[in-house]
Amino acid sequence: MKKNLKYLLMVLPILWATSSCNDDFLEAEPVVEQLEDNYYQTDEQVFLALVAAYDPIGWTIHGGYWISPIMFGEIRSDNANAGGDNTDTDQPGWQEFDDFRNTVDTNESRWIWHKNYFGIYRTNLVINNVEFTSGAVARYQAEAKFLRAYYHFDLFRHYGPVPVVTEVLASEEEYLQSRNTMTEVFNQITTDLMEAIPDLPQVLTTSEGGRVSRGAAQAMLGKVYLYWADMANDDQATFDLAAAQLQAVVDGGQYDLLDDYDELFQFEVANSVESVFEIQHTNQHPSDWGWTTGVEGNAVIQLCGVRGMCSDHPEYEEGWGFMMVTQDLVDAYLPDDMYRFDAAIMDGPEIASEAGGCSQPVDINQHNPQDYTGYFQEKHRNFKAYTAPVGGDDNLVKHGNEYVIRYADVLLMLAEALHRGSGSDAQAMAYIDQVRERAAGPGDNTGAFRTASDLMTDEGWSLLDVIWYERRIELALEGDRWYDLVRSGRADAGLFAGDPIRSGNFTADDIWIPIGQREIDATDQTLSAYPDASLFQ
């Protein structure tokens, strides 16, 4: 599906038959005329419009700026720092996000906003502009509703309550939007997902990898309810709604944990039995810096690869050194959780060993001195095996996919929803133990790992502490950390006690990022940079 994205235009132009610049040019009849008003007439046309609606979900660069929610979810948190080169100014917007110095003029704030509303505009075309029905169209519109929910949810996770847009707006209407309340935003997101679920397939065919299934929509709905319950003062009834949706995913039976945790991050592992929803990337289109929105590869892979790495490494190319792992994350792993550690994090000695003992596994002098810890992420691996088409920049066409929701995430969210709602703690611990059994390594680990109950006894933790630990470690460096901290009220200066810059800069406003000044000015100050407390109702 992804291979079609680059060539799609949402509004097809009028192609005029002309041979010279004269008066006849002004009177010529159109040879082909397909406009927004008359385009959505066949299943095929609606499908192509849907392909375009999927496209922004995979933008890792937009407007020339890096905008990955995976990077944001880790660099903003206590799991990672920005990193980059030895100037501490490489990609200034991400340095600002990292140090809580970002403002309304931070360019990335504008382009995260733009990406999601671009996606919402395209979904609204599919949902609102089709005036005929068919079985295919019902499914396409269900997928568009999932995507509209996804884009609104991503906006909320960055900016707090945002304008809800469910119609194709005229240009003058685009500048009249104001923030909706949290309840209004979540009501629309959950309505879209509930309406989508019945018309989505339970099982995808092999050729449909990356499209939305019923399980993906149920899992996303469960995740949204979980977020809403947390933000609404731990609302038990909403936790129960989350549990019901996540239980439906488990009971559907089409997902499972891969036996080997490390396999999740190996070369060209895509759309496995553990993948509930993942963003597709391809190397089939040459990409360059002249049109970064057209990049169909996963640019995060090159950006977050190990900077200054020994060229003798048999598997990995060096990268640009972003998303530098913090000592805090390294220290968070329990001593008996090294299998997951080794799959997620590497250091210089490991690189040296794998590269045959090269004398300088990593050139420290190339790294941001403020952020360098000697540890590097290993989930977004910059494999030498990535190949590129002729033309363009090879760094921009790495075709590793991005996980949005894995089955392990579903199990942990379900455990949390059961525990914080009115469900069974015993059942919650059983789901946690499924994740922990796999975390001990491939094969049957019965009796060879500490259960949730063991952790509560040995570490003196509550069940919620176990859940927080599992979410941080299982999903480390995959983009969930900051959003989990925000929804649960744990995002505060205390997280960064060992980092005087971050702890000193953090304020209550930094729970969210500000809407860009250009967007505020375009609405004649109708939009506020940060959400007012009154909107959280």
Residues 19-38: tens digit of each pLDDT: 333 333 233 344 445 666 67
Domain ranges of the chain: 38-199+512-527
Decide if pLDDT at 4 tops 70: no
Percent of the chain scoring above 90 in pLDDT: 86
Q: What pairs with residue 246 in β-bridges?
A: none
Question: Which range, of 222-231, 285-294, 425-434, 471-480, averages the lowest pLDDT?
Answer: 285-294
For the stretch 166-209, pLDDT in tens is 999 876 777 788 999 999 999 999 999 999 999 999 999 999 99
* Beta-sheet pairing, 322-325 with 80-83: antiparallel
pTM above 0.85, yes or no: yes
φ, ψ of residue 201 in degrees (nearest 5): -75, 145
Residues 6+ apart with CB under 8 A from 311: 318
Contact 123, 147 (CB under 8 A): yes
Question: Which range, of 12-21, 207-216, 449-458, averages the lowest pLDDT?
Answer: 12-21
Measured at the CA of 57, the angle between CA 182 and CA 522, to 5 degrees, comes to 60
Percent of the chain scoring above 70 in pLDDT: 93
Decide if pLDDT at 12 tops 70: no
- The kind and range of the H/E element at 74 are helix 69-75
* Beta-sheet pairing, 15-16 with 30-32: antiparallel
Rounded CA-CA distance 496/470 in Å is 20
Decide if pLDDT at 359 tops 90: no
Contact 417, 246 (CB under 8 A): yes
Q: How confident is the model at residue 400 (pLDDT cuts 50, 70, 90)?
A: very high
SS3 state of residue 61: strand
Per the prediction, the chain carries an average pLDDT of 92
Residue 15: predicted pLDDT: 24
For the stretch 402-418, pLDDT in tens is 999 999 999 999 999 99
Q: Which of 508, 306, 300, 263 is CA-nearest to residue 400?
A: 300
Amino acid at 190: T
CATH of 38-199+512-527, one of 1.25.40.390, 1.10.10.10, 3.40.50.920, 1.10.287.130: 1.25.40.390
Decide if pLDDT at 526 tops 50: yes
Q: Which of 450, 448, 498 is CA-nearest to residue 329?
A: 498
For the stretch 283-335, pLDDT in tens is 988 888 888 888 999 999 999 999 999 999 999 999 999 999 999 999 999 99
